[in-house]
Amino acid sequence: MEKTQTTEEYLNEIRALPGLENAILAGITVNRREMTAELFLVTDHTYSPDAAARAKAAAIKYLPSAFSPRIRIEKRVPDEGMIRAKIAAFMAARFPAASAFLREEDIEVAMLREGSGANFSFDVASGDQSLFTSGKILDEVSAYLSGIYCGSFYGNVRIVEREKEEFDPDAEIPEEEEEYAQTVRVFPVTDFHRLDGVETVPKYATYIADVSGESDDLTVCGAISFIQEREYTRKNEKTGEEVLKSRFSLTVSDGTGSLRATYFPKKATVEKVRALKAGDWVVLSGANEAYNGSISYTAKRINFGRPPENFVPEARKGKPVPAAYHTVFPEAYADYTQAGMFDVCEKPAALQDNTFVVFDLETTGLNNQPAMGKMDRIIEIGAVKLSHGEIAEKFSTFVACPTRLPPEIVALTGIRDEDLAGAPDIARVIPDFYKFCDGCFLVGHNVQFDYRFIRYYGEENGYMFDQRQFDTMTLAQELLRGEGLANYKLNTIADHYGFTFNHHRAFDDALTTAKIFIELIRQRKTLP
């Protein structure tokens, strides 16, 4: 049912069934292991079990003979408020520049006759209309609504005059408390071609930096920085025999962040995926799901695709870089144990020409994603700045914690409640750390874990950490494979290079990570 014509033929047939007169096909999920295809239908009328059974029977003639159909039907009847909220959310995610000039109350929705959709309009001030009439905004909003609700949706732009407030020269000017809400950004996918097959060609990918909560339909696009095939056994349901299977672990990066994914190949794709290598650009479509107290991404499909040429990530609106440090003051740092490191080796241009902040955190726990419940707190930040290939500055501070530290954290880090007495609150530390990171790339070991904490508490205080990140764990997986390492933990890699340090303290971990990063880039010569 990949062809639009075939889809329309099926819909025309089932729309003759009672309750499915306006049904839309919202999605198809193919399970090649079970050889089934689940058709997800959305309707706006009450339907009978008989209609569902007949819709399932009708699907047989449109599917490949080897596949059995399954039917899932959901009744959705939107009202004006629901449609208005959906439009506002879609605009904020897809067209943030235009959305900044559009309040939810500026969206007018008029329902058409039952089951036939709605008209919507954007009320905008004169001079702002070009933001909404260019770039096919109305067409994309209409297509989005048609994909989730029954009926047709039509949009237009209306020019309205905004009332101007009378200016009082003697009135006090109130200080604005600006909110910096997190937005989910997307970019167009270009140069798409199939590797795994797909029912619908993905048009947009979510910025990896913005991937946080659960989603059963998440598309990302990035360059592979690490890919590894692993074998596992699975019991055959029919014979009961253990069967050897493969799965792939891979890391992709899009310039805003990195994402680890798991992919279970089909027979038709396993050799194609084995041929993928670091540097290849791919589009992953799959689900971000809660598992063992964290969120992990499983790719259902892998295809080729990349961002537009000369793609520059869109910056999120936030507070400017502070003019001065106020609470935590960086110190000059010279690591004499590394003196002469480059005496016999010219500094790689990748290190000479860029500035990096290598950082590490100690926290009260492992939850760095609000979707999984209450966020754990940062209790220590340690960082060093690499300038011209040398460790030049240090940033180190405890962070106040209003609750007692868990015993396991005390045992792991050696940090006690009394160590945090008098420490500055995160709201005072984050502006200084933001300034310390200004104009730098971020580096960490398993960097996404710490970055999610920094991003969350930065956003809470209006500072948007959008810097490009590099992960020493991923680099080590790429460059030290075959070196006999038992794993790619920080202490294991440090032992490989002969570095000794006080593990599980933020500054010591950051300093060791910086030394490892230098060695890895010396070997690699270039940045990923």
Positions annotated as catalytic residues are 504
Task: Scan for tokens 């799901």, then name that residue.
Answer: 289
CB of 388 within 8 A of CB of 363? no
Beta strands 215-235 and 204-206: pairing type?
unpaired
* Separation of alpha carbons 493 and 232, rounded Å: 26
CB of 126 within 8 A of CB of 161? yes
* Separation of alpha carbons 81 and 87, rounded Å: 10
* Separation of alpha carbons 463 and 441, rounded Å: 16
Q: How far is CA 363 from CA 28, 400, 423, 507, in A?
A: 42, 11, 14, 13
> Kindly report the CA angle at 252 between 250 and 256, in degrees rounded to 5?
155
Strand, coil or helix: 214: coil
Buried b (16+ CB within 10 A) or exposed e, 346-367: ebbebbeebebbbbbbbbbeeb
CB of 448 within 8 A of CB of 257? yes
CB of 207 within 8 A of CB of 222? no
* Separation of alpha carbons 87 and 461, rounded Å: 28
In the beta sheet, which residues pair with residue 75?
A: 43
Task: Scan for tokens 């089934």, then name that residue.
Answer: 36
Give the DSSP letter string of 62-110.
GS-TTPEEEEEEEE----HHHHHHHHHHHHHHH-HHHHTT--GGGEEEE
CB of 518 within 8 A of CB of 351? yes
* Separation of alpha carbons 314 and 207, rounded Å: 9
Two structure tokens written together for 256: 């805003």
Give the DSSP letter string of 421-463.
TTPPPHHHHHHHHHHHHTT-EEEETTHHHHHHHHHHHHHHTT-
> CB-based burial of residue 99 (10 Å sphere; 0-12 exposed, 13-18 middle, 19+ buried)?
buried
Strand, coil or helix: 398: strand
- Of 473, 455, 378, nearest in space to 208 by CA: 455
* Separation of alpha carbons 525 and 520, rounded Å: 8
- Of 521, 353, 368, 338, nearest in space to 453 by CA: 368
